[in-house]
Structure 1
Amino acid sequence: MKRVAHTLLALTLLFAAGTAAKADEVLLQSAKSGLYVTVVNGTLAAWARDARQATKLDTVRLDGNKIAFRDIRSGTYVRAGVGQNTMLAAGSPHIRSWETFELNRIGRGEVALRSGQNGLYVRAGVGPRSHLAAVSQRARGWEAFRMVDVRNTGGHNAGGGIDLRALSGDYRITHAAADNGFLVRLGQELAGSARMSIQRRGILSATVGCNSISAQISVENGQFRTRGQPMSTKMGCPIRAQSLLETRISQILTEARTVERDRQTVTLRARNGAELLKLRRI
């Protein structure tokens, strides 16, 4: 009886896959980092800046809001449950519970994926290379994805093609990443004087009301680089938080690898997509 039930389940899934509407060819993009999902060391990770480096997936619509993903290159299905951390990877020949995901729309064109096997949400950001794994109880920032139609990507990349011409201007510094990696909104005491200016020739200057920080930067196609080490004047600051933030800004300028702009907000990100600094155009 158990064998018959398994056979019926397999036939049902095959029937669902075979009678579904034409599959949509999509890329998965982390809504948190803006990076595309690709294969890193055998499992899926939100690691590709350019859509052309992303893993192309067919979507297979199942019952209700359930969905499966087929890796176009290998013809195999994406499975959650690889290794102890329930990583996601292609390679499964069939659609069963580990290959089934609930597709929950969470607004603004973003979705969350919930494993049909363990009931946990897929998170991008597990480990230093932002691997995907079904480990989260709730759908929040790192559990949010965009399903990008391959036909609409063209030459799109995670940096949005921004260059120095588009980035130049004067900004307020609104958020900075602390040493523990969490992005923190500046308190009122610092926010009023925290400024950054970027010139078209690549000269960046910043202050939080005490010393002046300067750096030579390059920005091309969303890729951010600081040439050499940032320089700073050496005045003693009356507020300790000013000195700490000055040091952190200099570190962030050397750590940042990509930059993106959303209307009046500019975000610098680390190599793994983590937000390091947020600016608001004045």
Structure 2
Amino acid sequence: MQYITFNNNHTMPQMGLGVFRVENNDTAKEAVKHAIIKGYRSIDAALIYENEEMVGRGIQEGIAAAGIQRSDLFITSKLWLTHYGKDQVITGYETSLNNLGLDYLDLYLMHWPGTDNTLMIDTWHGMETLYNEGKVKNIGVSNFEIKHLESLKAHASIKPVINQVEFHPYLTQQSLRDYLTTEGIQMESWSPLMNAEILTDDTIQTIADEIGKTPAQVVIRWNIEHGVVTIPKSVTPHRIEENINVFNFSLTSDQIARIDALNEDKRIGPDPLTFNG
């Protein structure tokens, strides 16, 4: 496993398991447990996914089965818009902690910027309070565009360590990536496999054939090559194992360029400039 370093010098695994759209039942628990046993050290959760309880059980069972400590894992969750506002942040945070059965999170994110700039900034101040009081190890944002980050920059005392956004070969986000690099904010990709849509792309399949890897491994490796943290979701044991097996090969500069050229600025999720829950 490779790690990236945040602007506060803390570190995070460059790959983890996403649990979006996983039922709050044994499927979630077993996926998380299996991932931890197979070497995953990062789990990405969210209050709005409504599965934190079983994800938390999977974390506990995974820790026991893998013979590791809680401190060996990097657990993320996200604040939903219903808990926005400086004074509401602590309630959202403690709700997720209680759901997950944890004493702290390694990373807590504002899930969306929302359409109220004043509320967004006020909420970030609540996130800063969490961090300053030592309740969470790192704070960041999700689905923020440059304009949102510029607003935070003008009013915040703490810079986000990370921005988790939609990123895949059909949405390469070059201007946002360049901005984040300049600002020292790590980029993280959600839905890197586009709900499996990207796996049938001819270019991805051709490159997979060239190097003897699966299309999913090619796309995940492409994320890694770009320095992006990525959290592909799977509940299938062999795919969970396949997805993490991406650190023993590289893509050539030509292969990376061919994948980059697939960009269509195509989103499968909401537009962050208009989405408000």
TM-score (norm 2): 0.26
Q: Which structure has the highest strand share of the two?
A: 1
Higher relative contact order (CA 8 A, sep 6+): 2
TM-score (norm 1): 0.25
Q: Which structure has the highest helix share of the two?
A: 2
- Please identify the structure whose Cα radius of gyration is greater: 1
